[in-house]
Chains A and B, each alone.
Chain A
Amino acid sequence: MSTAAQTIAIASALLAGGLWLQLPRGNSRGRWWGIVLAALGVCLLGRLVVRLQPEHWVGEAVFFGVAATTIVSAIGAVTMRSPVYCALWFALTLVGTAALLLFQGAQFLGIATVVVYAGAILVTFLFVLMLAQPEGHTYYDRVSWEPLLSACTGAVLIGLLSASIFLPASGKPAQSGWKNDRWSATERKQEIVHPQHMAHVGRQLFSRYLVAVEVAGTLLLVGLVGAVAIVSHGAPARQTGEAVERDRLAAREAHHG
């Protein structure tokens, strides 16, 4: 067993324990231990990708700061008792993800993530929460389904995924054709990290992926119709429009006469 495999195994076990202790289980005993364990697990996994580069330390520090924010707020988003806090932590996750996308030169996606997710989806869900949420923590926010089993499942999945990234048995990138020196830095500047990024995105989107854009538009329309159908079909029967109009006329006559 190599050191990387041991690191991944220990980190997964730590993550499983940390997530289990932090998930709502009816009481909040051991939450701080959960935070410590999860932080240790994430740090162990992070050790696999940290290469000390004193000449690029500012960029590295910013990157690891953003990555740590994303992961910490992701853990907060799934373990908080109050759904409003969950939504706020998730907003921080979104901001972190947007920054990570920007780091990779995906400018449009970084902005779109903030606008579409944080601006539209999350705010809409906060509206629903405020409509539906009673005072204090409800019963179902204080317990979870099988916290131990689900934490273990997630940690095993994370362990397997990182093993497939880092372990030589499944093909360490540098040894098995992942090596990618086909493009130099200048060639990259002409494609993904081009100064005119948006123009390139638009050109790609409306030439090579034009059919997909049409399908996506149709999907949005179908989603809209479906949402309206679900809401109107599921709501309790209301008065018809004529009855509402008759009532309104009667009320007005009573008021004037």
Chain B
Amino acid sequence: MDEVQVLERYLLIGALLFGIGLVGFVSRRNMIVMFLAAEMMLQGISVSLVAWGRFHNDWGGQMLVIFILTVAACEAAIALALVLMLYHRSGKLDIAFWQTVREANQPRYVDQQLPDEPLKVEHWPTLPPAGVEPVRSDDEVIHRSHV
């Protein structure tokens, strides 16, 4: 197949991953989900870079992705430490809790009231009892020969 067509495909997938990750990062409020969305944007970049590297028959793309992995690992460590610290201070993973650090001329964000979620009673599968229950002597239960 034509190399240009291969490149187009991977660039399109990279663009989709980046855009979806951006939507997640901007709109979600859970700090951990925000972090996952940021990682997804990095994945989109990685796919595009490797595609370009293959297209130009050059190692630069793959090498850059290796360093992206390194930076992502560092980022994960720092983000994890930050999230844990913020969680210990506020007791929740909500990023809106920290809106006091916004700029002075920005209005305060007020949550709308939400109705409670309907309670769902979960029915988990159970195993039917099978076989015969062994006869237990009281003597053995009290003085077990082994634990």
Contact = CB atoms under 8 A, between A and B. Distances in A.
Interface string B93-117: 1111000000000000001101001
Given A200-B59, A226-B77, 13 more contacts: A24-B28, A49-B9, A71-B17, A86-B32, A100-B10, A109-B50, A121-B39, A125-B35, A140-B95, A178-B7, A180-B3, A180-B56, A205-B66
Which 10 A-B residue pairs are closest in the complex by CB-CB distance?
A78-B24, A223-B74, A234-B85, A154-B23, A158-B19, A161-B15, A150-B27, A140-B94, A144-B27, A227-B81
Contact of A49 (B5, B32, B76, B117): B5
A138 B13 contact: no
Contacts of A147: 27
Interface of A: 15, 19, 23-24, 26, 42, 45-46, 48-49, 51, 53, 56, 63, 67, 70-71, 74-75, 77-79, 83, 86-87, 90, 93-94, 97, 100-101, 104-106, 108-109, 112-113, 116-117, 120-121, 124-125, 128-129, 131-133, 136-147, 150-151, 153-155, 157-158, 161-162, 165-166, 173-174, 178-180, 182-183, 187-188, 191-193, 200-201, 204-205, 208-209, 212, 216, 219-220, 222-224, 226-228, 230-231, 234-236
Contact of A235 (B66, B73, B88): B88
Given A53-B1, A117-B39, A153-B23, A71 B9 contact: no
Given A67-B9, A101-B46, A223-B74, A150 B112 contact: no
A83 B63 contact: no
26 contacts: A19-B20, A23-B23, A49-B12, A74-B16, A74-B21, A77-B36, A83-B33, A104-B51, A105-B54, A108-B62, A116-B73, A125-B32, A139-B111, A140-B29, A141-B29, A143-B29, A154-B19, A154-B20, A157-B19, A165-B12, A174-B4, A178-B7, A212-B63, A227-B78, A230-B78, A235-B85
Nearest to A137: B117
Contacts, number: 284
A77 to B, nearest CB: 6
Contacts of B81: 226-228, 230-231, 234
A183 B56 CA distance: 8
B27 to A, nearest CB: 4
Contact of B32 (A23, A112, A129): A129
Contact of B23 (A19, A63, A162, A165): A19
A184 B29 CA distance: 49
A90 B72 CA distance: 15
Residues of A contacting B: mostly: helix
A145 B27 contact: yes
If over half of B's interface residues share one DSSP class (helix, strand or loop), that class is named, otherwise mixed; here it is helix
B18 A157 contact: yes
Query: Range of interface residues on chain B?
Result: 35 or more
